[in-house]
Amino acid sequence: MPARFKTIIEPFRIKVVEPIRMTTRSERKKLIEAVGLNPFLLKSQDVVIDLLTDSGTTAMSAEQWAGVMRGDESYAGSPSYFRFEASIQEVTGHKEIIPTHQGRASERIMFQSLCRPDQVIISNTLFDTTRANAESVGCVVRDIPCAEGKLLLEPAPFKGNIDLEALENLLKENPGNVAMVILTITNNSGGGQPASLANLKAASALARKFKVPFCIDGCRFAENSWFIKLREKGYENKTTREIAQETFALADIISVSAKKDGMGNIGGFLTMNREDWARDCRNNLILTEGFPTYGGLAGRDLDAIAIGIHEALDEDYLRYRIRSVEYVGEALLKAGIPIVTPPGGHAIYIDAGTFLHHIPSSQFPGASLSAGIFEFAGIRGCEIGSVMFGKTDAEGNEIPHKYELVRLAIPRRVYTQSHMDFVVEALTAFKLEESAKMRGLKFTYKPKVLRHFTSRFNWV
């Protein structure tokens, strides 16, 4: 795009459209009450703007659909696998490429194959499924985000960094017992915030010094690379591909859900150079995912990702992607809605604890807000707070999470600027007309793990 124009357009045209069903408020009130006030349990056709997740919701390109047609469904040794392998080798620099059906399968295989019970895993912040998989093999997770990352409403360029001093201390305190250091880029649970290459380099050097494997959860590696190009001195003239390659070169092992920057609707992968690790992981993979050249995916999915992973690194796309999320964030801030600042790469995180400050954590302000904005405007977001991460003590009392957020995740290449203008208008009206009247929630069904997916509530 020539620099003289300041309007950043969607760098694509639309060839196939899906209708959005318009609903009334009274319809939506019934719909959300019928599913126990949990937006995860709604039918997607009842949602006007679906910002539940950016995972697997990408609009694929014409090239990817052409790849789908080329997909070869041979059980073993399909050409689709070799195209997938070559694409991922090019971006990650790793030799051993293991396909999986999605990110959490990569995580399960990695932790079960390479970690032992009671070992410690240290991270800037593990995502919920990653944490659940690490804990299911008996590992103890220590999240140590940097100080700026904990100040939700204060801007800083790299709030996804890990606290290097705390990392060194934990490595010293647990000699021989740290299974892995994992950097999640961007940091989804911490507001979609990027980690800098300086921080990634320092963290990997510390891991190496203590002979601990360094892992990157690289679901949003392309968005992280674009932030580095924009914000980190010395990288302004590098391409995002070069930055991604420099990032991945630091890792001993990479786990990716290809449903994000892989631009796939399903898929994931695990990569490494060590043949012995790869052998163990593939043996585990065969138990549940399938043969190592398809790993739970159809050949056509492998081809879609082989193409998508390169499209995610396209700089016209990334400029539009990051700016369009920032545009929503700026408008919400202007309307006085508290959000994690600066806006993340794939999502806006509303600080529901501040926004609905009259609702205590024990009554789940994030879950109340997500039910409220669905009823008000048909917008579906995702609570990231005490429902998702809260725990129960021995007496059955709730231990709240430290943050009460609602994530509005923007699917890739799906919504236009006017959809986003609608979101801003609706949330601004919600603040003025509804927020003070919102009530808290109480559980009517409380699952033991990953509670946000299936829990049910009543209004307090």
Ligand X SMILES: Cc1ncc(COP(=O)(O)O)c(C=O)c1O
Among 23, 129, 354, 362, the residue binding ligand X under the rule CB under 6 A is: 129
Among 113, 130, 225, 386, the residue binding ligand X under the rule CB under 6 A is: 130
Q: In what helix (H) or strand (E) does residue 97 lie, and over which residues does it extend?
A: strand 96-100
Say how many CA atoms lie within 13 Å of 248 toward its Cβ.
27
- Our CB check for ligand X shows the closer of 46 and 217 to be 217
Q: Give the C-alpha separation, 61 to 241, whole Å.
A: 19
Q: In what helix (H) or strand (E) does residue 63 lie, and over which residues does it extend?
A: helix 62-70
- Our CB check for ligand X shows the closer of 257 and 370 to be 257
257 binds ligand X (CB under 6 A): yes
Q: What's the min distance (Å) between Cβ of 193 and ligand X? A: 12
188 binds ligand X (CB under 6 A): yes
Sort 72 into a burial class: Cβ within 10 Å, 0-12 / 13-18 / 19+: middle
Please identify the residue of the shown chain whose CB is closest to the bound ligand X.
103
* Residues in contact with 314: Cβ distance below 8 Å, sequence separation at least 6, in sequence order: 11
Q: In what helix (H) or strand (E) does residue 50 lie, and over which residues does it extend?
A: strand 49-50
Count of other CB atoms within 10 angstroms of residue 99: 29
Enumerate the β-bridge partners of residue 406: 350, 383
127 binds ligand X (CB under 6 A): yes
- Our CB check for ligand X shows the closer of 225 and 363 to be 225
Compute φ and ψ for 255, nearest 5 degrees.
Answer: -120, 130
204 and 196 in contact (C-beta within 8 Å)?
A: no
- Our CB check for ligand X shows the closer of 64 and 361 to be 64
- Our CB check for ligand X shows the closer of 192 and 372 to be 192
193 binds ligand X (CB under 6 A): no
* 198-217 footprint of ligand X as x/- string (CB under 6 A): -------------------x
Among 184, 240, 361, 368, the residue binding ligand X under the rule CB under 6 A is: 184
Q: What's the min distance (Å) between Cβ of 241 and ligand X? A: 21
Q: How many positions of this chain bind ligand X (CB under 6 A)?
A: 14
| Beta pairing, strands 379-380 & 405-409 | unpaired
Q: What's the min distance (Å) between Cβ of 176 and ligand X? A: 27
Q: What's the min distance (Å) between Cβ of 55 and ligand X? A: 5
Compute φ and ψ for 50, nearest 5 degrees.
Answer: -100, 100
- Our CB check for ligand X shows the closer of 113 and 255 to be 255
**In Å, how far from its chain's centre is CA 187?**
7
What does the block give as tokens for 86? 């070559």
405 binds ligand X (CB under 6 A): no
Among 42, 122, 170, 219, the residue binding ligand X under the rule CB under 6 A is: 219
Enumerate the β-bridge partners of residue 184: 217
- Our CB check for ligand X shows the closer of 282 and 346 to be 346
Among 102, 113, 265, 284, the residue binding ligand X under the rule CB under 6 A is: 102
Q: What's the min distance (Å) between Cβ of 250 and ligand X? A: 17
Query: Cα–Cα–Cα angle for 53, 7, 345, nearest 5°?
Result: 25
| Interactions with ligand X, residue window 5-64 (CB under 6 A) | 55
295 binds ligand X (CB under 6 A): no
121 and 115 in contact (C-beta within 8 Å)?
A: yes
Count of other CB atoms within 10 angstroms of residue 48: 18
Q: Give the C-alpha separation, 282 to 3, whole Å.
A: 48
Selected range binding ligand X among 96-104, 354-362, 369-377, 450-458, rule: CB under 6 A: 96-104
**In Å, how far from its chain's centre is CA 349?**
12
Q: Give the C-alpha separation, 163 to 169, whole Å.
A: 10
Among 67, 93, 268, 329, the residue binding ligand X under the rule CB under 6 A is: 268
One-letter amino acid of 451 = R
- Our CB check for ligand X shows the closer of 104 and 282 to be 104
Selected range binding ligand X among 25-33, 124-132, 233-241, 292-300, rule: CB under 6 A: 124-132
Question: What distance separates the 2 farthest-apart alpha carbons in the chain?
Answer: 63
Selected range binding ligand X among 86-94, 97-105, 152-160, 398-406, rule: CB under 6 A: 97-105
User: What residue ranges bind ligand X (CB under 6 A)?
Assistant: 55, 102-104, 127, 129-130, 184, 188, 217, 219, 257, 259, 268
